[in-house]
Amino acid sequence: MTVRVRFAPSPTGMFHVGGARSALQNWIFAKQHHGVFVLRIEDTDTARNRPEWTEGILSALDWLGISRGSYEGPLFQSAYAGEQAKAIRGLLDDGRAYYCTCTRDDVVERTGNKHAGYDGFCRDRGLTSGAIRFRTADEGTTTVVDVIRGEPTFENRLIEDFVIARGDGSAVFLLANVVDDITMGITHVIRAEEHLPNTPKQQMLWEALGQKPPVWAHVPVVVNEKRQKLSKRRDKVALEAYRDEGYLAAAMKNYLMLLGWAPSGDREIVPWDVIEREFRLEDVNPSPAFFDEKKLRAFNGEYIRALPLEEFIDACEPWLTTIPGYDRDVFARVAELAQTRIALLSEIVSNVDFLFVDRPTIDEAAWAKASKDAHILPAVIEAFERLSTWDATTLKDTLVAVGETHELKLGKAQAPVRVAVTGRSIGLPLFESLEVLGRERTLARLTALAA
């Protein structure tokens, strides 16, 4: 049997980091078993679907290394309406489903309980129109065999006759999902824990349609620091946002795979080929997984520092080319220094933009603090003008000497120099920066704030 897994996002918004984790887990599982990864776009929510969201899904997967052409699809749920209608008709003909015209208010009125489930009122009324409900068993249990969660068992009497089709005959998610999986030959369903409550219903549908259910694996919910499920309304969850801030795909992939799983040994930063080799569904922890953005940021910093220098320069260029006057050769002279100081690629701009602009934008708060020692600047300018050699060592020795004549240690002496030249109080090593900036531009900036 060929293993076939699917990743089935809806094109209704940005690409959720939890979805990205599920995609990676499915991708690895398929590769490990020489199987097939199917991308299915669940596009039946026509009111919310937008083509750009579908393209966003494809682009996000590309970024994660799940590239177009390496998987089956994208397939679209809307293309399977015929198979879904056929399944609905079969269930009706077999007596496993029936028409129902009850509203929620009807159920509440009959039961006197606004929280009551459907009471089966239309089960045997012989209606020929309305929504369509699946007839669940009145007794017994349904056991879901789950690779991660064992064998959770559900009492059938507690599962109401659930809707499988709307009044217009179109399948709802529960049925459409099952029919699509059957049609596509899906053998393993690896998805988020939030779908577990639906699983006994879907398993009933698989069996009612004469099919053996797939292997289930429900991965843990991803939560924030308050242990609340990540929400796009409250939390930063869009994969695109992290990508656009300058997170590396390799760091993101590594971190996402650690949400509920751990590689062998006392390590977390692991080469992708090791993750692909070691990951096992049965080793996934069912407990909620904390998405720690601070930890992800630290991961990213480690991955940035591990890049070969030329790759680091290439990775930074999408941000650097937004700076007027950017020069790759100039950046290359400070790239190694910058590489150790940033955790996000987007931070490169604030570290090096002063090298390319005509005049830096002065941080007023930084200057307010540094200007207390700005009286040193005329002497610094005079000393720098006399230098015959313009290099980092000579510049540092010169500023140390000037500082001593003004009874200022180097930290105090260099503060107004740094802000005048770079616009900020922190950044790359000062004297290496001055060397690259050059004598003329350095003196012009010092003079501008010494006046």
Separation between Cα atoms, residue 20 and residue 245, nearest integer Å: 17
Are residues 346 and 374 both part of a single domain?
Answer: no
Residue 133 lies in a domain: no
Task: Give me the pLDDT at residue 451, please.
Answer: 67
Residues with catalytic function: 232
Q: Is residue 402 part of a domain?
A: yes
pLDDT at 159: 94
Count of C-beta atoms within a 10 Å radius of residue 228: 12
Mean pLDDT for all residues in the chain: 94
Least confident range of 58-72, 102-116, 145-159: 102-116
Which amino acid, residue 39? L
**CA distances from residue 424 to 28, 414, 447 in whole angstroms, order as listed:** 45, 12, 17
Q: What CA–CA distance (Å, rounded) separates 221 from 145?
A: 19
Whether 375 and 419 share a structural domain = yes
With a CB cutoff of 8 Å and minimum separation 6, the contacts of 252 are: 20, 64, 239, 242, 243, 296, 300
At residue 47, does pLDDT exceed 70?
no
Task: Based on the fold, state whether residues 333 and 380 are members of the same structural domain.
Answer: no
Average pLDDT in the 396-423 region? 95
DSSP H or E stretch at residue 379: helix 377-385
Q: Given this model, what pLDDT does residue 52 score?
A: 82
Output the pLDDT for position 295.
96
Any domain includes 6: no
Residue 329 lies in a domain: yes
Share of the chain above pLDDT 70, in %: 99
Domain with 437 in it: what CATH number? 1.10.10.350
> At 161, which amino acid appears?
D
Question: Please, are residues 17 and 50 in contact by the beta-carbon 8 Å criterion?
Answer: no
Q: Rounded to whole angstroms, how far apart are CA atoms 434 and 327?
A: 16
pLDDT band at residue 33 under the 50/70/90 scheme: very high
Q: Indicate whether 377 and 332 sit together in one domain.
A: no
Q: Is residue 316 part of a domain?
A: yes
Total domain count for the chain?
2
Dihedral of alpha carbons 345, 346, 347, 349, sign: positive
User: What single DSSP character describes residue 98?
Assistant: E
**321 and 344 belong to one structural domain:** yes
149 inside domain: no
Report residue 53's pLDDT band, with 50, 70 and 90 as the boundaries: confident
Q: Domain containing 413: what range?
A: 364-450
Band (398; pLDDT cuts 50, 70, 90): very high
